[in-house]
Amino acid sequence: MDGVLPRRAAQLLGDARRVVIFTGAGISAESGVPTFRDDLTGLWARFDAQRLATAEAFHADPDLVWGWYEWRRTRVSRAEPNPGHLAIATIQTRVPGSTVVTQNVDDLHERAGTRAAIHLHGSLFAPRCIAAAAHPATFEDTPDGEAAQPHEGRRIPPPRCASCSALIRPGVVWFGEALPEAALTAAVEAAAACDLLLTVGTSAVVYPAAEIPRIAARSGATVIQINPQPTPLDQVSAINLRGNAAQVLPALVADAWEQTDER
Ligand code: APR
């Protein structure tokens, strides 16, 4: 990867001992999973978040909301991790003291080999009983055949809890809901203790998640941003790499350990 900044970024990564990799929807964009706020293609440009991603929306029309998340889950299941996800898994192998913190509800980090990723906004693959989160909940298998496949705008009744018959809800954090406490605490602690934070593919406008890179910066860590567009984190970041994650991350990783192996 050419240029002073990328080489400096690679050097910082190669020398880091405690790394946090903070990701948003942009890391999965090149796997065909839409982001939220990109013009036209972003989910919120096409769908009304208030009608689909709030507890009130689920109570008002559970079939519409469940159908929408089943459509998103099906899309993610058909997607594959991209070289950006794979590079992050490599960083975790190369730097034992590294932590992956994601806002994404897909499972592409895990499928790329990342262990124990912290999901701040839940997961499309962790449905739960709306009455008691402790009640086990599973997905009913979608019958074969295209006609049965979840698709945009299709209403699908949510399954019922086997323990108490309450509705099963998607395991994601909806607008207006608190983040899972253990996940948020672990992310804050990792950010406060790291020496380098990579922020990848997030618009950094949704709080409290967007506070994570700021906590790292306030704690003396170096922040490096990877995003083709400017974000509010430009000022917080020592280095802004304007590019796509699936191109920038593999090059950064290759360069970082090429440099260290040479020494
Ligand atoms: N590589 C890197 N970054 C990319 C790429 C790419 N290939 N494509 C797009 N981006 C960047 C965009 O420029 C944008 O800044 O990714 C960012 C995606 O921003 P959002 O769509 O706002 O997604 P995110 O920041 O993850 O949203 C945060 O908002 O809607 C809620 O709960 C949802 O977790 C989500 C949260």
The enclosing domain of 23 has a CATH number of: 3.40.50.1220
**Half-sphere exposure (CA, 13 Å, Cβ side) for 257?**
12
Ligand 1 geometric centre to CA of 166 (Å):
33
What is the domain range of residue 59?
4-262
Q: Give yes or no for a contact between 173 and 115, defined as CB atoms under 8 angstroms apart.
A: no
Mutate to test the pocket of ligand 1, among 28, 36, 248 (most ligand atoms within 8 A of CB): 36
Contact between 12 and 195 (Cβ < 8 Å): no
Distance in Å, CA 202 to ligand 1 centroid: 4
Atom of ligand 1 nearest to the CA of 173: 32
Q: Would you give per-residue pLDDT tens digits along the chain (263 residues)?
A: 557 778 999 999 999 999 999 999 999 999 999 888 776 567 777 777 777 899 999 999 999 999 999 989 999 999 999 999 999 999 999 999 999 999 999 999 999 999 999 999 999 999 999 998 878 787 765 555 554 556 667 889 999 999 999 999 999 999 999 999 999 999 999 999 999 999 999 999 999 999 999 999 999 999 999 999 999 999 999 999 999 999 999 999 999 987 667 66
Total domains present in the chain: 1
Residue nearest atom 14 of ligand 1, based on CA coordinates: 203
Q: Has 135 been annotated as catalytic?
A: no
Bridge partners of 201, per DSSP, are: none
Amino acid at site 91: I
What gap in Å lies between CA 98 and CA 144, rounded to an integer?
A: 41
Q: Residue 37 CA: which ligand 1 atom is closest?
A: 21
